[in-house]
């Protein structure tokens, strides 16, 4: 650990903490499942889908006892912690609060863990990127890093996602009492009604090849050819999610049988996530894009999934589309730092 005076002289004791590599095994997945910050993206299954980069998983220990986990994606040479389009949330994973802990004790413990990691990562990586879970609510240790001296400072990039509460949604109830429908914009409600009237067909599918064809068509139309570089990773990820019962793929087709839209959702023990979507522009007037998400949301509610994260509203086009379904806007952060490691 670096010799940062801000945390010394009795203010904050960081002795006894260590950072150790963690294997992607059942022990790791148990931590992810129990942690309030644990998500599908931090599971061993999801991290094993990385193609361009590699997973970097760590245990933070205090006196040799695990108190938290840390998830990053590493560059192929292991020198840097980098962003990867496949991993939406990672970063810190705290263990649940102990019954005997007061709120103040829990806050202080998480603060110390964060302060230690904010310092220790400088010695591990040359460049550092962390994508924090929305359930991280205290970033002061990163803000205060090198507070009273010159040195690297953490950069903060504020991001947003939209989260729907499905706990009161009756998938078999009338549409005019459905909370997601009632929370949607007037135009989105109209498109859902039109889709029902036009007899757009919603179904579950395992045809990953067909999804990838539609996905490529979507991004070619948006002049984003680099998205094609993700196709191999997407195919591997979707197949693993479906094969392990950790998600579902939905198709919506026009009444004449043309596949118009597809959506992939994954889930963990806390919520579902809208992972990937694709659309055929020739079916735009059939409203298959609205209907595939409507069908998916009803199916997720029937599985007693209590909430769904729509996964990012950080560009005007995608943000407008996702927020037209309503939901609660939730912030999260990307953090970055140039480290000191010369390994």
The CATH number covering residue 173 comes to: 3.40.630.30
The answer to whether residues 22 and 142 belong to one domain is yes
Distance of CA 214 to the CA centre of its chain: 23
Q: Which of 343, 250, 232 is nearest to 292 (CA)?
A: 250
The whole-number average pLDDT for the span 6-28 is 83
The answer to whether residues 181 and 268 belong to one domain is yes
**Within a domain: residue 322?**
no
The answer to whether residues 68 and 184 belong to one domain is no
More confident of the two residues 51 and 341: 51
* 180/192 Cα distance (integer angstroms): 11
Query: Mean pLDDT in the chain?
Result: 91
pLDDT given at position 199: 95
* 117/137 Cα distance (integer angstroms): 16
The answer to whether residues 107 and 17 belong to one domain is yes
The answer to whether residues 105 and 136 belong to one domain is yes
Over 70: is that where the pLDDT of 63 sits? yes
Over 70: is that where the pLDDT of 226 sits? no
The answer to whether residues 236 and 252 belong to one domain is yes
The answer to whether residues 118 and 210 belong to one domain is no
**Within a domain: residue 230?**
yes
Total count of domains within the chain: 2
pTM, whole model, 2 decimals?
Answer: 0.92
Over 90: is that where the pLDDT of 47 sits? yes
pLDDT given at position 292: 97
The whole-number average pLDDT for the span 216-231 is 65
* 45/189 Cα distance (integer angstroms): 36
SS3 268: coil
Q: Alpha carbon of 60 to those of 92, 147, 275, 276, 332: distances in Å?
A: 9, 23, 29, 32, 22
pLDDT given at position 227: 53
Using one digit for the tens of pLDDT, what is the confidence trace for 48-62? 999 999 999 999 999
**Within a domain: residue 214?**
yes
Using one digit for the tens of pLDDT, what is the confidence trace for 180-208? 999 999 999 999 999 999 999 999 999 99
User: pLDDT class for 340, splitting at 50, 70, 90?
Assistant: low
* Residue 33 main-chain phi, psi, to 5 deg: -65, -40
* 90/81 Cα distance (integer angstroms): 11
The answer to whether residues 38 and 85 belong to one domain is yes
Q: Are strands 272-279 and 307-309 parallel, antiparallel or unpaired?
A: parallel
Over 80: is that where the pLDDT of 37 sits? yes
The answer to whether residues 145 and 223 belong to one domain is no
Length reported for the chain: 343
The answer to whether residues 182 and 146 belong to one domain is no
Number of CB atoms found within 10 A of residue 109's CB: 18
* 101/67 Cα distance (integer angstroms): 13
* 277/281 Cα distance (integer angstroms): 13
pLDDT given at position 338: 83
Q: Which of 181, 56, 221 is nearest to 131 (CA)?
A: 56
For the record, the structure tokens of 228 come out as: 């094609």
Using one digit for the tens of pLDDT, what is the confidence trace for 290-326? 999 999 999 999 999 999 999 989 998 889 999 999 9
The whole-number average pLDDT for the span 247-267 is 97
Residue 26 sits in a domain whose CATH number is: 3.40.630
**Within a domain: residue 314?**
no
The answer to whether residues 194 and 278 belong to one domain is yes
**Within a domain: residue 251?**
yes
Ramachandran assignment for 52, one of left (phi > 0), alpha (psi -120 to 50 degrees), beta (any other)? alpha
Residues of the domain holding 178? 167-305
133 within 8 A of 37, measured Cβ to Cβ = yes
Percent of residues in the chain assigned helix, strand, coil, to nearest 5: 35, 25, 35
Counting Cβ atoms within 10 Å, is residue 216 exposed (0-12), middle (13-18) or buried (19+)? Answer: middle
**Within a domain: residue 343?**
no
pLDDT given at position 218: 73
* 268/257 Cα distance (integer angstroms): 32
Sign of CA dihedral 40, 43, 47, 49: negative
Over 70: is that where the pLDDT of 331 sits? yes
Using one digit for the tens of pLDDT, what is the confidence trace for 93-150? 999 988 888 999 999 999 999 999 999 999 999 999 999 999 999 999 999 988 877 7
Over 50: is that where the pLDDT of 2 sits? no
The answer to whether residues 91 and 196 belong to one domain is no
Over 80: is that where the pLDDT of 244 sits? yes
pLDDT given at position 1: 43
User: pLDDT class for 73, splitting at 50, 70, 90?
Assistant: very high
95 within 8 A of 35, measured Cβ to Cβ = yes
**Within a domain: residue 75?**
yes
**Within a domain: residue 65?**
yes
* 273/247 Cα distance (integer angstroms): 9
């Amino acid at each position: 650990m670096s010799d940062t005076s801000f945390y010394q002289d009795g203010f904050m004791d960081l002795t006894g903490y260590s950072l150790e590599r963690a294997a992607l095994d059942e022990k790791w997945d148990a931590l992810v499942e129990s942690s309030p910050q644990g998500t599908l993206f931090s599971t061993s299954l999801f991290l094993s889908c990385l193609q361009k980069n590699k997973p970097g998983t760590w245990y933070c220990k205090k006196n040799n006892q695990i108190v938290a986990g840390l998830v990053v994606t590493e560059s192929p040479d292991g020198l840097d912690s980098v962003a990867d389009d496949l991993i939406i949330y990672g970063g810190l994973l705290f263990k649940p609060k102990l019954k005997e802990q007061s709120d103040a004790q829990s806050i202080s413990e998480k603060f110390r863990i964060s302060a230690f990691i904010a310092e220790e990562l400088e010695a591990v990586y040359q460049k550092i990127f962390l994508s924090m879970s929305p359930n991280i609510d205290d970033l002061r240790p990163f803000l205060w890093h090198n507070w009273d001296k010159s040195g690297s400072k953490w950069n903060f990039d504020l991001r947003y996602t939209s989260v729907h509460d499905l706990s009161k949604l009756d998938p078999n109830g009338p549409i005019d009492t459905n909370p997601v429908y009632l929370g949607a914009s007037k135009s989105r409600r109209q498109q859902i009604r039109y889709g029902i009237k036009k007899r757009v067909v919603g179904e579950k599918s395992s045809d990953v090849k067909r999804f990838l064809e539609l996905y490529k068509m979507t991004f070619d139309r948006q002049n984003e050819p680099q998205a094609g570089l993700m196709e191999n990773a997407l195919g591997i990820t979707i197949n693993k999610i479906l094969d392990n019962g950790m998600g579902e793929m939905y198709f919506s087709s026009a009444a004449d049988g043309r596949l118009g839209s597809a959506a992939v959702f994954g889930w963990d023990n806390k919520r579902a996530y809208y992972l990937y979507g694709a659309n055929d522009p020739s079916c735009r007037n059939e409203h298959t894009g609205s209907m595939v998400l409507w069908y998916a949301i009803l199916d997720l509610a029937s599985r007693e999934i209590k909430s769904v994260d729509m996964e990012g509203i950080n560009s005007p086009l995608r943000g407008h589309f996702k927020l037209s379904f309503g939901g609660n806007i939730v912030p999260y952060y990307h953090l970055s730092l140039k480290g000191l490691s010369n390994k």
